[in-house]
Amino acid sequence: MIQLKNSTEIAKIRESGKILAECLLSLDEVIKPGISTWDVDRIAHEFIKKHHAIPSCLGYCGYPAATCTSINEVVIHGIPSKKQILKEGDIISVDICVTLDGYVSDSTRTYEVGKVSDEVHKLNVVTRECLYLGIEAARKKGARLHDIGAAVFRHAFTENGYGVVRDYTGHGVGFDVHEEPSVPNYVEPMSSNLRLKPGLVLAIEPMINMGTWRIKDDRKDGWTVRTADGKPACHWEHTIAVTDHGIEVLTEL
């Protein structure tokens, strides 16, 4: 069931989103060659706690960390580790959910570690562009869910030849980490194509691969999702609200 939010509830999610945006921005100074993903997670966790909020991912369906730290060919759900050290040329997607007074926001950013290759940089730039094109599609009068997916897919695959992950999607958010509806990054004819209306709060999150769209799950840890061909992946995400005055990005400063 889709749960619409009123203006008071959206304001609460906005407060959560501000903490999350500030947390991701603060990691700019942290993510460098030589740091472990465990330290990235620790620093983000401490930032969230300092702002009297809760890292929603920690313990969610048994997930063991405050953040998801996904390096290179890992698409999503990479588990932080003291043994996993970032090196020059890596990319790392940091996915964080923040709960403040019971209200949840969700955002992801892909960071470049030192100097990356031109083709990896392009993938990162295009994935971020996909996110904002999806948001712009949601702003159009009479927009529907499929308009978001169509805009992402067009830029990622049609214009740049990248793989668009299909097994995982964006989603509703606000009262919980994952809510209805699903927000695919491509046009799925069998999925809901509801018209966007005030009260909807959505996490739009393009997951774009340099090669195939296909992925594989890590059977050892039960969480890590990698590209099937081992090529790099990027992931960008914002929480948005549909209001009477249009679209508001709740996880952007």
What is the DSSP track for 137-198? HHHSTT-BHHHHHHHHHIIIIITT--EE--SS-EEE-SSSSSEEEEE-SS--TTS--PBP-T
Strand-pair partners of 170: 183
Q: Is 237 annotated as a binding residue?
A: yes
d(CA 176, CA 192): 20
Using a 10 angstrom Cβ sphere, with 0-12 exposed, 13-18 middle and 19 or more buried, the burial of residue 162 is buried
Q: Is 77 annotated as a binding residue?
A: yes
Amino acid at site 224: T
Q: What angle do the packed helices 7-26 and 37-50 form, to 10 degrees?
A: 140
Q: Is 45 annotated as a binding residue?
A: no
Q: Is 95 annotated as a binding residue?
A: yes
Q: Which of 199, 208, 196 is nearest to 145 (CA)?
A: 196
* List of residues 6+ apart from 249 with CB closer than 8 A: 135, 238, 239, 240
Q: Is 244 annotated as a binding residue?
A: no
C-alpha distances (whole Å) from 126 to each of 39, 55, 156, 206, 234 are: 28, 28, 7, 10, 9
Q: Is 171 annotated as a binding residue?
A: yes
Q: Is 29 annotated as a binding residue?
A: no
Q: Confirm if 98 and 53 have CB atoms less than 8 A apart.
A: yes
Binding region for a divalent metal cation = 95, 106, 171, 205, 237
Annotation: binding site: 77, 95, 106, 171, 178, 205, 237
- Detail the residues annotated as belonging to a binding site for substrate: 77, 178
